[in-house]
Amino acid sequence: MSKRPGFFDFDTPFFYPVWRRYAVVTVLFLWALFELYAGAVTWAIIFFGLGIIAAVKMYQTDWSAVKQDDLDDQEK
């Protein structure tokens, strides 16, 4: 039985390609800049915080274990 990913559960096979990880973090930071430019400081802080959380969690994830889990699930 595979585990169900949560909201900030980045250790899924979808995020195994490096470009997807960078894209998610980049989009969050760019959206924060857009909100800041639009004058919505509160939303800018929220998206900036989400970008930091996403970057830290993706940095801390053991991607070799994610790949191995995905291979194990495919074998079953």
Q: What is the pLDDT of residue 27?
A: 96
CA–CA dist 33, 68 (Å, integer): 37
Q: What's the whole-number mean pLDDT along residues 36-48?
A: 96
pLDDT surpasses 60 at 51: yes
Q: What is the pLDDT of residue 1?
A: 44
Percentage of the chain surpassing pLDDT 90?
46
pLDDT surpasses 50 at 70: yes
In three-state secondary structure terms, 4 is coil
Distances (CA, A) of 24 to 1, 62, 74, 76: 27, 18, 26, 30
